[in-house]
Structures are given as C-alpha cells and as structure tokens.
Chain A
Amino acid sequence: MAAPNQRLEVTLDTQLESVDLAENIVTRVAEAAGFGEDDLHKLGMAVREGVINAYNYGNCQDRRKKIVLAVEFEPETMIVHVVDEGCGFELSEVADPLAEENLLRTSGRGIFLMRAFMDDLAVRKGPTGGADLVMYKKLPHHVSGNGQSQAE
C-alpha cells in the first residue's frame, strides 16, 4: 500500500506515445496501491483521456511543449494531475456530449469520461497558464458500500 503524501512526477513529450506511457505509469502505481482490475481500467482510461486532451487541445500537438503527469497520495485519495502548456479552460465551457445535438460529434467525450471514471475532476490553471486536470480516486480501503475496490 502506498504511504500517504507520496508524489511521482513525470514530464512527457507532446507525442502520441505519451498517451500509452501515462496510462501504463498510472495503472502500475494504482495497482501497487491496491486498486482492483476494474478500477485500474477506469483510472487508466481517465488518465489516457487527460493526456489525449493535453496532447490535442492543450498543447495542440506542438512537440516543443510538455505534458506533466503527477500522481499524489493523500491518506484516503489518489490524485492524478495532467498539466499542459496551453491556454487552459473552464469545465463550464465544455459541451455536454450527452445532449441530443452533440451525440453525433466525433470528439468532445474525454472530459465526460474522466468524470465518469474518477470520483471527482477539477480543472485549475497550471504554472504556465495551461490546464491542470486534477483527478481524484478514493483509495480502495476507503471505498464504502459495495464498491469494487476492496483492498482486503
């Protein structure tokens, strides 16, 4: 089990390969923290969507820019940051992909999936003014009820 207040930070290039790399890094860390298979899939997918967002929309596929992936642990929560060097955005600006008029759009579902697969999502300003996507997932031993992430 990961100890509280640990932090891992990796700087990724703005390239397609970073999407898989980020997913692999986070799922390995999450596996070590005790998450089960279903949550590992959700975490990996949420991070994947975050890095795709940074690659496509934040950094506009500009290879000179970087994507920072950070994983932190608080006593009850795993927190993942995906920080780009774009202009940032507000969650309220993001169109609802479930709205009838957006169902046939070929893009615009990433933020929705991050929200669906994590316990919480926030968007802050990163150090260069880009978006800092902050994703929260309760650690397995803190999931109540019949959650699938039972550590014991």
Chain B
Amino acid sequence: MEDIAIVDFSGKITLGEGSATLRTMVRELVGKGHRKILLNLGDVDYIDSSGIGELVGAYTTVRGASGELKLVHLTKRVHDLIQITRLFTVFDVQADEPAAIRSFRSPA
C-alpha cells in the first residue's frame, strides 16, 4: 500500500486546462519509480476528448513502465464518457479507494 501513489484531481481535464498537468504529473511519478498509480477523479466535473486522450496517454505511460494505473470515484459524466468511448475495456475503474488499493496487491 505504501508504494501506491494516489493523485486527487479536480476541476476540468480539457484542452489547455488540466490535461498538461495530468501528463506531467504521471510522467514525474513514473520517473520517480512509482509503478502503482491511482487517479481519483471524484472532483473532476468535465473531461473533453483531449482529457480522454491524456488519460489514455497516462495509462500507456504507466503500462510502458510495467506499472498499473487505476481510476476511482468517477462522476456520472466522466463515467458516461469513458463508457461510450469503450475505455472501460482499457481502464481499471474502481468504485472506492479501499477497493482500488486492495486491487493493486494482486499481481499485474
């Protein structure tokens, strides 16, 4: 549990706002050796296609380093967006933080 990086995001993840922050943050965490990253999107009320692209980019960055990236606390709008773009087949979306943390313990 101690090596899980939990990132709380809030506001928008859209073109020019939030998306670059997400990219930088995830790359820095991976650069520092983190391989288990949990993105808490509970306070993210808006994601556009650029934000979705950044989430996918974050996923591939972490997977490329043999790590795991999981999402937790999706708002309805973010949940719907991830569903209609079929990214539920890509992302590991967890209902709450304890469940997400437990899920990291199983081998990747």
Q: Which residues in B have their C-beta under 8 angstroms from that of A113?
A: 48-49, 81, 85
Task: Say whether A21 faces chain B, with CB atoms less than 8 Å apart.
Answer: no
Whether B15 lies near A16 (C-beta < 8 A) is yes
Residues on the A chain within 8 Å of B84, using CB? 116
Chain B interface mostly: helix
Given the complex, which residues of A lie within 8 Å of B79, measured CB to CB? none
Which residues on the A side are within 8 Å of B52 (C-beta)? 109
Cα A49 to Cα B15 with chains together (Å): 10
> Which residues of chain A from 85 to 113 have any CB-CB distance to chain B below 8 Å in the complex?
97-98, 103-107, 109-110, 112-113
Are B15 and A98 neighbours in the complex by a CB distance under 8 Å?
no
Query: How extensive is the interface on chain A, given as a class?
Result: 10 to 19
B interface residues with partner A (beta carbon < 8 Å): 14-16, 48-50, 52-54, 56-57, 59-60, 77, 81, 84-87, 89-90
27 example contacts (A-B, Cβ-Cβ < 8 A) are as follows A16-B15, A16-B16, A19-B14, A19-B16, A48-B14, A49-B49, A52-B15, A52-B50, A98-B85, A98-B86, A103-B89, A103-B90, A104-B59, A104-B90, A105-B53, A105-B56, A106-B53, A106-B56, A107-B49, A107-B53, A109-B49, A109-B52, A109-B53, A110-B49, A113-B81, A113-B85, A116-B84
